[in-house]
Amino acid sequence: MSTVSCPQCFLAATVIDQFDLVSDSGQPIEHVRISCPASHHFLMARDRLTEPAPVADTALAAMLKSVSNLTAPVSLS
């Protein structure tokens, strides 16, 4: 079972189904149904997903790091 990054929370989401859907141009496009630990469920084209997260905590740590970079410590002098 492969994992991908959840588009909403970036935790490691499990691919629970995958299949081809035919696009307007007649080309089959690979779609996946994914479910993440935060109960997000998506049905989307595989090529819209980001690369699989090797470790769930890595994506979460990166997200938390980027958030902490945005909020500079406030001095209450």
Nearest to 47 by CA among 67, 30, 72: 30
- Site for Zn ion contains 45 (CB under 5 A): no
28 vs 48 by CB, closer to Zn ion: 48
Binds Zn ion (CB under 5 A): choice among 4, 6, 34, 59: 6
One-letter amino acid identity for 71? Answer: T
Question: What tokens appear for 32 in the block?
Answer: 């996946």
Q: How far is the CB of 30 from Zn ion (least distance, A)?
A: 20
Q: How far is the CB of 36 from Zn ion (least distance, A)?
A: 3
CB 64 within 8 A of CB 15: no
What whole-number distance in Å separates Cα of residue 77 and Cα of residue 66? 26
- Site for Zn ion contains 9 (CB under 5 A): yes
Binds Zn ion (CB under 5 A): choice among 38, 43, 55, 62: 38
